[in-house]
Amino acid sequence: MSGKRLIYLALGGAGEIGMNCYVYGYGEPDKERLIVVDLGVTFPDMDGSPGVDLIFPDITWLKERRDRIEAIFITHAHEDHVGALAHFWEDLGAPVYARAFTANIARRKMDEKGFSADTVKVREPWPETQKAGPFDVGFAPISHSIPESSGLVIDTPLGRVVHTGDFKIDATPVVGEAFDRAMWDEIAEGGVKALICDSTNVFSEHEGRSEATVGPEIEKLLLDAKGMVVATTFASNVARLKTLAEAGERAGRSIVLMGRAMQRMVEAAVETGVLTGFPSVVPIENAADVPRENLMLIVTGSQGERRAASAQLARGKHFGIEVKDGDLFLFSSKTIPGNERGVIRIMNQFSEKGVDVIDDSSGRYHVSGHANRPDLLAMHDIIKPNVVVPMHGEHRHLRTHAALASSKGRKGVLSPNGTMVDLIEGKPCDFVETGRTYLDGSVQIGALDGVVRDRIRMALNGHVTVTLVIDEDDTPLGEPWCDTMGLPETGRSRQPLAATLEEELGQFVERAKAKVLADDDALEEGLRRAVRNAAQNEIGKKPEVTVVISRLS
């Protein structure tokens, strides 16, 4: 084994919360055989990525080493772990392994792209394992906010590594497997070289609460409710859906599920046997037959997404159902940072309709799916690794988590995206270029291609199109013409903006020397500058400018 090493590399997820993609390698340097853990997405926003549909990690490094990839393992079915799989699978061409529920969701995604179901292979949980080159990998059940989440137990010729995946320590998770202390003790028994560990909640100083504490609180709330109740949570949080539905049932309400994602998730959970004993559900089209005070909708859109059911209800009728004065809307969810505006928007829309809105600020109606600081330390103590590598966090989470591990006498290694770590040495051994790519419509573009930069510029500055026709003798035919978009119609002079700009351009063309008129670049630059200066004077801003010179020939 001399000369061989065991490496870890985050291509995504260690520098943001989202787009998780981790790589493990074993072998001689630069010849390691590789496994990929998770292929997730993150979501665009107007500030940084307007018009973009999805954000992927840049996996160029992996594509260039395609022949060294033994397998892809998916820890759980959240979008930030599985959302990019179908988009990248052809580029990587390795078998995909997951547990049944995760595979069910992954297969739906593969199917949409025209790939067959057997691209994703179902594996039973630990102690069963899957060989992948020099790796032997087991899915160890761990509690989180979606069914069948798994930590990975990764055995290599250089020893064992534990990759927690997303997790919390929950003895009573309502749906799926409780945190199994005995199993993890046994996994740790022979010694673990490195723990690659979720960092999401490292700033939460109190111990985490169990999913089972939520139901009784929600039931109390429902018993006091007079009108219709609408509750939202992440569709993938199947345990919460069950918690909500059962609380509703106990409070004498009929349950209606609303939103495509919600129905898809419940379907997958039932198909895979994960979800049993879910209260019977009334189809949306029959909801109107149920008296409002006996009705509970469970809907998508906990993050205020404009097209989700919650936002639709906030705006007006949806599937014939309308909220009214005296109804109750419950966010059984946390607002992800960055989504505040959308969530607050629908809160106020509901308020305008007289609906009481309850959010998670009391801490009673939602619990996190991630381990808080004391629980992270508990996990370190169970696994007793030589090295702790924090993952699944922004830089500040990773840094704080690494320092936390070090403060307890373990070796905490700060390893953001692109920092390759030798897991036996417990230190960085290489640096890899990482980044993001965008799915934009049907095209994958690089984050730095300038496409999105141009969109942001048009959004900030508006856009002017200047057209000028020039004849065979380099003489302008008529005046330059301006079209504006995203700019005020009039400015300082109170005349139409386009007319003001055209006047300036006309003067520029009149004064322009023959040499300039004959030279597209010089003419374009002159026209651009004239428009920008005239606009600055007239409306106080310099727009983006497209100049089109049509030369007759």
Q: CB of 420: closest distance to a second copy in angstroms?
A: 18
Q: CB of 461: closest distance to a second copy in angstroms?
A: 6
Q: Which of 488, 505, 484, 465 is nearest to 540 (CA)?
A: 488
Pairing, β 328-331 against β 295-299: unpaired
Contacts 24+ apart (CB under 8 A), 484-490: 484/543, 485/458, 486/458, 486/459, 486/462, 486/543, 487/462, 487/463, 487/535, 487/539, 487/541, 487/543, 488/539
Q: CB of 76: closest distance to a second copy in angstroms?
A: 24
Q: CB of 477: closest distance to a second copy in angstroms?
A: 6
Please, which residue, 47 or 67, has the CB nearer to a second copy?
47
Please provide the size of the chain in residues. Answer: 553
Token pair in block for residue 231: 């509750």
Find out whether 156 and 137 touch, Cβ atoms under 8 Å: no
Q: CB of 474: closest distance to a second copy in angstroms?
A: 16
Q: Which of 72, 66, 44 is nearest to 56 (CA)?
A: 44
Token pair in block for residue 236: 């993938």
Please, which residue, 369 or 480, has the CB nearer to a second copy?
480
CA distance 155 to 193: 10
**What does the angle CA 141 – CA 142 – CA 146 come to, to the nearest 5 degrees?**
100
Please, which residue, 257 or 347, has the CB nearer to a second copy?
347
Q: CB of 511: closest distance to a second copy in angstroms?
A: 22
Please, which residue, 61 or 481, has the CB nearer to a second copy?
481
Reply yes or no: is the peptide bond before residue 416 cis, omega within 30 of 0.
Answer: no
Please, which residue, 27 or 543, has the CB nearer to a second copy?
543
Please, which residue, 507 or 550, has the CB nearer to a second copy?
550
Q: Exposed/middle/buried for 410, CB within 10 Å: 0-12, 13-18, 19+?
A: buried
Q: CB of 11: closest distance to a second copy in angstroms?
A: 18
Token pair in block for residue 29: 């340097």
Q: CB of 549: closest distance to a second copy in angstroms?
A: 9
Please, which residue, 72 or 539, has the CB nearer to a second copy?
539
CA atoms within 13 A of residue 112's CA, in its CB half-sphere? 10
Please, which residue, 49 or 312, has the CB nearer to a second copy?
49
Token pair in block for residue 309: 């059911």
Q: Which of 482, 470, 545 is nearest to 512 (CA)?
A: 470
Q: Who's near 339: CB < 8 A, 6+ residues apart?
A: 303, 304
Q: Which helix (H) or strand (E) holds 444?
A: strand 443-446
Token pair in block for residue 203: 């700033």
Please, which residue, 273 or 486, has the CB nearer to a second copy?
486
* C-alpha separations of 383 from 27, 141, 191, 195, 332 in Å: 25, 15, 8, 7, 32
Please, which residue, 153 or 539, has the CB nearer to a second copy?
539
Q: CB of 30: closest distance to a second copy in angstroms?
A: 27
* Binding residues for a second copy (CB under 8 A): 15, 45-48, 50-51, 203, 337-338, 340-341, 344, 347-348, 350-352, 354, 357, 361, 394-396, 399, 416, 440-443, 445, 449, 451-452, 454-456, 458-463, 465, 467, 469, 477-478, 481, 483, 485-492, 536, 539-541, 544, 546, 548, 550, 552
Find out whether 61 and 432 touch, Cβ atoms under 8 Å: yes
Please, which residue, 16 or 70, has the CB nearer to a second copy?
16
Q: CB of 224: closest distance to a second copy in angstroms?
A: 15
Q: CB of 537: closest distance to a second copy in angstroms?
A: 9
Please, which residue, 45 or 293, has the CB nearer to a second copy?
45
Token pair in block for residue 512: 């322009």
Pairing, β 69-73 against β 96-98: parallel
Q: CB of 69: closest distance to a second copy in angstroms?
A: 25
Find out whether 466 and 481 touch, Cβ atoms under 8 Å: yes
Find out whether 171 and 179 touch, Cβ atoms under 8 Å: yes
